[in-house]
Structure 1
């Protein structure tokens, strides 16, 4: 036969040549690998790689390799150490630790593991005459019927068919026990990746000795077929159990707790499972849990992964986000912890946490969308169990449980009714996760999205609609504001002042003229003066108000026009013995009422004269009653800030019972209080009062007519005409003089009005 092989044509197919090589190894008819390669130089490099892969797989034995020293590494079975305890089972159960053809094993994704075809019916529906690949047959040949002898094993029936393997129920003759035998489905035509993955599973499981992990007994090759035998467990996988309905919460916690402890054992020995799912969790008739199928296992102490970066390894519904993104080289024990959380979710709800219509859609959701809360799917679930599941299903590995044992411990605390260690996500984190699923936010963040939740889609639609509606509303608001600004109020309310005062007199005259010009009803309301006017104007009670300069401040007040100057009148009762401002010390002085501009002016004057602390008390009383009050209980002095020529002051001075006291250093006072300025009350201001010909030196301030910033333009324009058109208000500061004022916060209409006056004045000056 060797001679026949050496005369084979160079055009022979590589698969047939390697199959012949393996067959020759089985029969012992090959003497030299190099001689075989020299006979096929056109395929020598490829054949050498296949042979090296076969040698590599042979080194996976825990016992150290071939036992007879032959050149064929597959000539003898490779066994585990004899001290591995395997319980002997009697009888032939009807169901066992099978890979259910309907389980989600068919969804396993990875290099060299194509999706399995759909099966219907129970394991009993699997054809017992399923092809058993033989080394001396092509892929399309019909294999032998069961039962079939495979060395020490007699294959009895098919337990399950997966993407790359077939699992048989077999009897091991020497030990007289039932075992499960797994073989590569494609037989001798299996590629290097399939073979490597197959033996990775065997090697990974063989390293582990734990009551909740299916034990591997022996692995090697027989008749050209790669196989390994493992513990046979009578029962059902968790996928079949939960397909009948969800587990009770505590039972689900018990199952996942046991799986977590088994996985912690694997992690502690450097093995990552990477394909945890309900179909790989077996439950025997004693309700004991067994973890199986380490086909995608990875050894953390060496690069033993059968896949590379960029391949999504695992089962989509249960794989961690880093696996779904294809970062298989970044998979750690945290990835298995995510899968444990997904299994717990499925056990309680009968469905995986994240489900898509297609495999690709599921992968995108797993990678980019947060898992739903457990109680959003199962309202009856315990809050602690929801927190445990959420901790496992965190997108970032660092946010999950530190180890599988920590998860198992938390589940044990939950089962015992103790406080768990995991904590619920903060409200801010939940809000951030919710917004991260809005498609436009995900796009900006560079995340892919699929099947966005309804709430986030509605939110985005609302934002997009608002992006069109808001500009329209803004334009409409501007138009509306313009219409308001150009609309005269239905009624104009003007603040006055104290009864009989200059404020009240000026406001009454203004209201009469304004009403005559516009036919709009106008009303004047008496107040306590400047500060009262200011507060009520800001509150919207008035449209216009006279206010002293000291109170004209803030962002919302605007000057309509300067009205008139007010002088500080220091009035002394005759015979009081007060001849100078120094004599005011220790005296009781009448000042204006609280909230009046007159009182504020009096306080500033006393402060500048350094008499503020020595004068007490300050008496508040109506100015009209000041001269009528018994001098024994009244004040001997009063400070009144009021317009020059006031009827009140004129009456007091003409009675020859009061006289004016000059303030000698008005400039110094004005420097301390910029709203005041030095001025002189001339003798002719108060006829018959016997004032000195040079007048009385004092300080004064200015009163302004003020409005709010949003006052309608027509109102201000009409007010300006009412002030400056003939007849003028007595004592009003002329418009031309008002136009020269700088630094005032004029209303826009007033500013335009005065600018126009200035322009006309300049033109007139040029013409002259």
Structure 2
């Protein structure tokens, strides 16, 4: 590209920026703008002078102090805000226009060279007839059958006049292209689109178009003059009653539904385009961006974001104007409803691009954040309108109007609020860090989202320290002594109850902790209570430890299997093991309570002898044995037990256990002999009664505190002994094959080292 071409492109770009800044009211002075482009300042100045001449003598716009000062004070902002005339008449103007015939280059050159040289006599005025400090035609001005009397609105590309129609002697509004004969092709198409779209609609909520005309290069159309205000002005004046807002938007929705049924999309719905007459009725205007669904006619194509950023649907904001549908207008109606209730649009960015990105990606805050007390049903209606996905919005503007009717009448609405889980998830994904991880673009964050993200980052930074702290706390709890210790006992009047009561007393006295003994059904019951955390310590038979959650604190004492007979068989049967086994098959055998260790061991012994399937078994408390039908009792209990002494007194006899050596092959059982010294008052005849034995253990959970285990061991082995027959500390230290608690292993290792 040549240097001259680059220079021309730079001038064109700078001049375009100047025009945009003028329309947006951002230029403080021409000289200030030129200072930004010193290298092309002269070329820019020539273009600005030419533009002044063209605008002065072809736009037909009155730029008197009334317009430049009073109208701007009234709230006009060249992109479609409200303007007012001297008599208070107000009109909404968006700056979208239609088709015109472009003037020849000769006309443009002539007007730029000599502003007084024009075909329009109204534009060639003596200097004395022009307002001081201003340029332009003098009103009143006749165009066709209309006399333009007063400027009542001006947008970025259009001017609206209050006018008198001679033929019908009525007051109307006349709209003209601001650029006059120099309007570009796209502006002219928009002007025609607006006139044709509005002219094809007949609804009390839509401003009617009367006539379209052309006069000396100027295109115009006339329409009804709506005297009153517009919704944007009402919003600017302060809060509007909720019911009034719902009524306004309901009526607009009915009007837009009429347009949709006539295949017309508005695509630029906003508060400034909703006029409110003196009877408080609404009228929709400005169809400059309208689209005919039947012909797919539009002044824009895919890639252009058409409309007003704060009120356009996400599909429009994303540049997919060709995808705009009836639901796009529904979105805009929801945005208008939001703005009329809260006083601000649902999404507002620092720049146009920022606003467009928010419309595409972000959800608006609840209306209650801006106006407390907004009814939940209205919040739900707005949320449904503002869904990002068109399929989730109201299917038609009529459906929206019906729901607003229901709201106004106090009936249930059709829309349903988003579930709490969905709301929480949407709020969570609004955190920038979470959104990035999920692939969702987060354009704008709230202070709450930023605080949550800061908290998450802090948590991530502190995570290693938290893990270490948690491990240290877990270790501390594992080592600490509980404030209250629960110990399982056993069956009523059993040896386990006696042992547990002694251990609880010592723990309470020496460590100032609360203790309690919980009566149970025996070893199996104790195992279940330990696993579920109901107790801290429990005595039980070795065979009951069948869970990896349980570990041994200490071996306590041996429990022998006592084979007791109500009526002893002949000595010949007793002396022969096989005959004794056959005799057992014919007996009714009591094996103890259901949850006792004795019942579990007896079942193992009878199974090993091969008679369990033949004998009749009785599961019952030992206190009921004498009154039962049992002829034999197989009791696993500590030698010297009072229970066995009582049976001897009642006439029961002790028998040797047949095939005891075979029974000991079972885990946790070993060969032992019951001797007369164990029951000196029973006057036993034989010197020994072969049997098997198991070991009673003090058991706890694998995660029990070290301090508890160590304290229990100290109490267990201090003098005097808790109970006779207790396995000594030295013997316990030599025990192998048991799953000891770590603290117990450490305790016994000290005993082994001292030996």
Match of 2:111 in 1: 137
Match of 1:696 in 2: 690
The equivalent position to 1:546 in structure 2, one of 527, 533, 539, is 539
Alignment of 1:577-596 (within 5 A): 592=592, 596=596
Match of 1:59 in 2: none
CA contact (8 A) 2:83 2:154 kept: no
How far apart are residue 481 of structure 1 and its match? 3.5
1:393 aligns with 2:386: yes
Alignment of 1:366-385 (within 5 A): 366-385=359-378
The equivalent position to 1:621 in structure 2, one of 620, 623, 627, is 623
1:642 aligns with 2:616: no
The equivalent position to 2:251 in structure 1, one of 244, 247, 258, is 258
CA contact (8 A) 1:560 1:704 kept: yes
CA contact (8 A) 1:123 1:159 kept: no
1:467 aligns with 2:469: no
How far apart are residue 547 of structure 1 and its match? 1.6
SS at match of 1:568: strand
Q: How far, CA to CA, are the matches of 1:258 and 1:520 in structure 2? A: 80
Q: Which moved more, 1:706-715 or 1:647-656?
A: 647-656
How far apart are residue 206 of structure 1 and its match? 2.7
The equivalent position to 2:237 in structure 1, one of 224, 232, 244, is 244
1:234 aligns with 2:227: yes
How far apart are residue 641 of structure 1 and its match? 0.7
Q: Deviations over 1:133-185 (max 9, x none)?
A: 99662399543222223333332211111122111223334444433222222
SS at match of 1:618: coil
Q: How far, CA to CA, are the matches of 1:308 and 1:640 in structure 2? A: 96
Q: Which runs of 5+ in 1 are unaligned?
A: 1-10, 16-93, 109-115, 127-132, 761-768
Q: Deviations over 1:607-658 (max 9, x none)?
A: 8744799455734329xxx8xxxx6789654332124x44558857987943
CA contact (8 A) 1:662 1:696 kept: yes
How far apart are residue 432 of structure 1 and its match? 2.5
1:365 aligns with 2:339: no
Q: How far, CA to CA, are the matches of 2:506 and 2:226 in structure 1? A: 107
SS at match of 2:539: strand
How far apart are residue 277 of structure 1 and its match? 1.1
Alignment of 1:157-168 (within 5 A): 157-168=150-161
CA distance 1:586–1:290, change in 2 (3 Å): farther
Q: How far, CA to CA, are the matches of 1:430 and 1:139 in structure 2? A: 64
CA RMSD of aligned residues (A): 5.0
Match of 1:335 in 2: 328
Alignment of 1:499-648 (within 5 A): 529-531=522-524, 533-534=526-527, 537=530, 544-554=537-547, 556-562=549-555, 565-574=558-567, 592=592, 596-602=596-602, 609-610=611-612, 614-615=616-617, 618-621=620-623, 637-643=632-638, 645-646=639-640, 648=642
SS at match of 2:244: helix
TM-score norm. by structure 2 comes to: 0.69
Match of 2:283 in 1: 290
Match of 1:748 in 2: 742
Q: How far, CA to CA, are the matches of 2:407 and 2:518 in structure 1? A: 75
SS at match of 1:143: coil
The alignment of Structure 1 onto Structure 2 pairs a total of residues equal to 636
Q: How far, CA to CA, are the matches of 1:583 and 1:606 in structure 2? A: 13
CA contact (8 A) 1:278 1:343 kept: yes
How far apart are residue 664 of structure 1 and its match? 4.6
CA contact (8 A) 1:312 1:328 kept: yes
Q: How far, CA to CA, are the matches of 2:305 and 2:166 in structure 1? A: 41
CA contact (8 A) 1:155 1:169 kept: yes
Alignment of 1:392-471 (within 5 A): 392-449=385-442, 452-469=445-462, 471=464
Q: How far, CA to CA, are the matches of 2:245 and 2:628 in structure 1? A: 94
Q: How far, CA to CA, are the matches of 1:494 and 1:429 in structure 2? A: 49
CA contact (8 A) 1:502 1:646 kept: no
CA distance 1:613–1:172, change in 2 (3 Å): farther
CA contact (8 A) 1:492 1:543 kept: yes
TM-score norm. by structure 1 comes to: 0.68
CA distance 1:545–1:284, change in 2 (3 Å): closer
CA contact (8 A) 1:576 1:636 kept: no
CA contact (8 A) 1:99 1:279 kept: no
Q: Deviations over 1:565-615 (max 9, x none)?
A: 533222113469998577678977665467542244346667874479945
Alignment of 1:751-766 (within 5 A): none
CA distance 1:150–1:501, change in 2 (3 Å): closer
Alignment of 1:21-36 (within 5 A): none
SS at match of 2:210: strand
Q: How far, CA to CA, are the matches of 1:435 and 1:515 in structure 2? A: 52
1:277 aligns with 2:251: no
Q: How far, CA to CA, are the matches of 2:196 and 2:357 in structure 1? A: 32
How far apart are residue 209 of structure 1 and its match? 2.7
Q: How far, CA to CA, are the matches of 1:272 and 1:244 in structure 2? A: 30
SS at match of 1:706: strand
1:316 aligns with 2:290: no
Match of 1:28 in 2: none
Q: How far, CA to CA, are the matches of 2:493 and 2:240 in structure 1? A: 91
Match of 1:481 in 2: 474
Q: Which runs of 5+ in 2 are unaligned?
A: 1-7, 13-65, 91-102, 116-134, 575-579
Q: Deviations over 1:374-428 (max 9, x none)?
A: 4454444444333322222222211111011112222333344443322222222
Q: How far, CA to CA, are the matches of 2:113 and 2:640 in structure 1? A: 122
Q: How far, CA to CA, are the matches of 1:471 and 1:243 in structure 2? A: 54
CA distance 1:151–1:324, change in 2 (3 Å): same
Q: Deviations over 1:334-357 (max 9, x none)?
A: 111011122223334443333445
Q: How far, CA to CA, are the matches of 2:539 and 2:216 in structure 1? A: 113
SS at match of 2:112: coil
CA contact (8 A) 1:667 1:677 kept: no
SS at match of 2:197: helix
CA distance 1:567–1:121, change in 2 (3 Å): farther
SS at match of 1:386: helix
How far apart are residue 291 of structure 1 and its match? 1.1
How far apart are residue 561 of structure 1 and its match? 4.8
Match of 1:87 in 2: none
Q: Deviations over 1:23-44 (max 9, x none)?
A: xxxxxxxxxxxxxxxxxxxxxx
SS at match of 2:191: helix
Match of 1:172 in 2: 165
Q: How far, CA to CA, are the matches of 1:236 and 1:552 in structure 2? A: 88
